[in-house]
Amino acid sequence: MSDAPTPVEKNAFTLKDNRNGDTYDLDILKGTTGPDVIDVRKLYSETGCFTYDPGFTSTGSCESAITFIDGEKGILRYRGYPIDQLAEKSDFLEVCFLLIYGDLPTEEKIERFKTRIMYHTMLHEQINYFFRGFRRDSHPMAIMNGVVGALSSFYHDSTDIHDPKHRFIASTRMIAKMPTIAASAYRYSIGMPFTYPRNDLSFSENFLYMMFSNPCEEYIVNPILSRAMDRILILHADHEQNASTSTVRISGSSGANPFACIAAGIASLWGPAHGGANEAVLNMLDEIGSKDRVPEYIKKAKDKDDPFRLMGFGHRVYKNFDPRAQIMRQTAHEVLGDLGIKNDPLLDLAMELERIALEDEYFVEKKLYPNVDFYSGIIYRAMGIPTSMFTVLFAVARTVGWVAQWNEMIEDPTQKIGRPRQLYTGEVERDFVDMKDRT
C-alpha cells in the first residue's frame, strides 16, 4: 500500500436527520479508480446511529491496492493488470509475486522467488502422521482445514505477525505447502502413499505430479493439463474482499497467527455460495442427469418457494459477465479438445444448461450469468480430479490472495480489530424469573 494518504474531499456529502433537521457533513474518500466511499467512521460518535448493511452490499471494509473489480463492466485486475493478460502471458508464481509485492518481477527476482517457494514445498514429516488421525472418508476440505490450522503448532518460528521476516516466511510456507497438503488429503482418501514434492517441476506440474503419480510407474506431466491448471490457479488467485478474504482479514485483525487466519479463510471458502460452488455444480449436473430434465431444474431455480439455485450462476459483484468465466470457458473447450474428450454427457448437459439459462428471461433480467465455478469443475473433471477436491484446488489458488491481503492489513497503519455493530431487536431489560414462577 502506498504511503500517500487516500485523497479526501472534505465535507462532500451531507446527511440530514429529518427527525430534527440536524445535518452532518461527511468526507468522501477517493480511490485511484472505482466508486468513491463515504467516510462514516465518525458517524456514530456524531449522530448516535450505526449504519445497517447486512451482507456488506454497500460497505467498503478496508483500503486495498491489490485487486480491482468492476462488476458492471466485467473487469478484474491484479495490481492494475487485466486478468486476461495475466492468464495468457504469465504463470502462477509470477502472479503470486505480483500480488504480494505489487509489481511484475525482473528475471532475477522471479528466479529467487520461485526458488524460495519451491524450497518450502515439503511438509514437516510429523504432519504426515497428523493426516492419519482423519477418517479415510473425510472430505478433503475438512482435512485441509485441520492441517492448515495445525501448521502453527509445527512452525513456531513464523508466527510473530509484527516481524516482517516471520510474515514473509509464513506467507512463503503457506503458498508452497498448500499443494502438498491438498495432494496428501486426496491421496489419503484413496489409500495411496503420500508423494514428496519435486522441486525441479513448475508449481502446477509439481501439483499434478503429487496428485497423480504412482510409486510403481514413471509419471510424465501432461503439458496441456499443467498449463490449464496454472491458468485456473491464476484466475482464482485473488478476488478483492470476498467472504473468505474478509474472514482472513477479520481473523487477522485480532492479531491471530497467519496459519490460523488462513484456516479460517478455508472454512469460509468451503460454503456452496462461495468456493464450494464448483463442487456443487458437478453434483447438480449429476442430479439433473440428462438434457431433457434441464427445463425442470430451470423451473425449480425460478420458483421462490424452492430453495434450489442453479449452482455456478450469479455473482454478488459481476452483474454482466464474470471475466474469469469467459477465460475458463475457453480453457474448458481447449482442454477437452486437446484431450480428445468429445462426447462427455455431463459436458453436453452443462452446455445445454448454459444455453437455456442465458436465454431465459428470469436469468437475463436478474443478470445471472455463469460464473468461474461453472466451468472450472468441468475442466477438473476432464483432468481426472474428483469432485470433492474442487474446492481444495480453489483454496490452493486463493492462498496467495489471502496472504497478500493479510500482509497488507497488518502493514496498514489505520488497521483496527474488526468489530461490526448490530441493530438489536431482542428483548429489552426484564427481571430474572425464578423457576417456580415460570409458565
The strand order across the sheet containing 23-29 reads 8-16, 23-29, 37-38
Asked about 315 being catalytic, the answer comes back as yes
Asked if residue 312 binds ligand CMC (CB under 6 A), the reply is yes
Q: If binding means CB under 6 A, how many residues of this protein chain bind ligand CMC?
A: 20
Burial of 397 (0-12, 13-18, 19+ CB in 10 A): buried
Query: Contact at 8 Å (CB) between 23 and 14?
Result: yes
How far is it, in rounded angstroms, from Cα 395 to Cα 7?
35
Please tell me which residue in 27, 120, 315, 360 is annotated as part of the active site: 315
Binding test (CB under 6 A) with ligand CMC, winner from 166, 315, 381, 398:
315
Query: Which residue has its beta carbon closest to ligand CMC?
Result: 314
CA distances from 217 to 209, 211, 220, 225 (A): 12, 14, 10, 19
> In angstroms, what is the minimal distance from the CB of 363 to ligand CMC?
7
301 part of the interface to ligand CMC, by CB under 6 A:
yes
286 CB-contact burial (10 Å; exposed 0-12 / middle 13-18 / buried 19+): exposed
| DSSP single-letter state for residue 342 | -
Shortest approach of ligand CMC to residue 419 CB, angstroms?
A: 23
226 near ligand CMC, judged by CB under 6 A? no
Q: Which residues pair with 78 in a beta bridge?
A: 67, 81
Question: Which grid cell is 230?
Answer: 496454472
Shortest Å distance, C-beta 32 to ligand CMC: 23
23-29 and 37-38 as β-strands: parallel, antiparallel, unpaired? antiparallel
- Contacting residue, 310, 335, 389, 397, with ligand CMC by CB under 6 A: 310
327 binds ligand CMC (CB under 6 A): no
Residue number, 92 or 390, with CB nearest to ligand CMC: 390
Please say which residue, 30 or 309, places its beta carbon nearer to ligand CMC.
309
Q: How far is residue 199's CA from residue 219's CA, in Å, rounded to a whole number?
A: 15
State the minimum distance, in angstroms, from the CB of residue 295 to ligand CMC.
14
Q: For residue 396, state whether it binds ligand CMC (rule: CB under 6 A).
A: no
Can residue 274 be called a binding residue for ligand CMC (CB under 6 A)?
yes
Task: Give least dist CB 235 to ligand CMC, A.
Answer: 10
d(C-alpha 392, C-alpha 139), whole Å: 10
- Active site annotation includes 274: no
Phi-psi region of 284 (alpha: psi -120 to 50; beta: other; left: phi over 0): alpha
What whole-number distance in Å separates Cα of residue 14 and Cα of residue 51?
15
d(CA 270, CA 242): 13
Coil, strand or helix: which one is 272?
coil
- Indicate the burial class of 271 (C-beta count within 10 angstroms; 0-12, 13-18, 19 or more): middle
92, 113, 130, 313: which one binds ligand CMC (CB under 6 A) = 313
Nearer to ligand CMC, 79 or 315 (CB): 315
Query: Whose Cβ is closer to ligand CMC: residue 147's or residue 328's?
Result: 328
Which stretch, 26-34, 303-311, 328-336, 425-433, contacts ligand CMC (CB under 6 A)? 303-311
311 binds ligand CMC (CB under 6 A): yes
* Cα–Cα distance measured from residue 410 to residue 168, given in angstroms and rounded to the nearest whole number: 12
- Min. distance of Cβ 297 from ligand CMC in angstroms? 10
- Per CB under 6 A, contacts with ligand CMC among 234-273 are 239, 242, 273
Q: What angle do CA 133, 206, 371 make, to 5 degrees?
A: 85
C-alpha span between 43 and 296 (Å, rounded): 49
Cell numbers at 246, concatenated: 474478509
Scanning 8-16, 136-144, 155-163, 367-375 for contacts with ligand CMC by CB under 6 A, the matching segment is: 367-375
Region near ligand CMC per CB under 6 A, out of 113-121, 198-206, 371-379, 422-430: 371-379
Is 49 a binder of ligand CMC (CB under 6 A)?
Answer: no
Among the residue ranges 123-131, 215-223, 253-261, 314-322, the one whose residues contact ligand CMC (CB under 6 A): 314-322
From the list 27, 238, 322, 373, the catalytic residue is 373
Q: Could you give the residue numbers annotated as active site?
A: 315, 373
Interface residues with ligand CMC (CB under 6 A) are 239, 242, 273-275, 277, 301, 309-316, 366, 368, 371-373
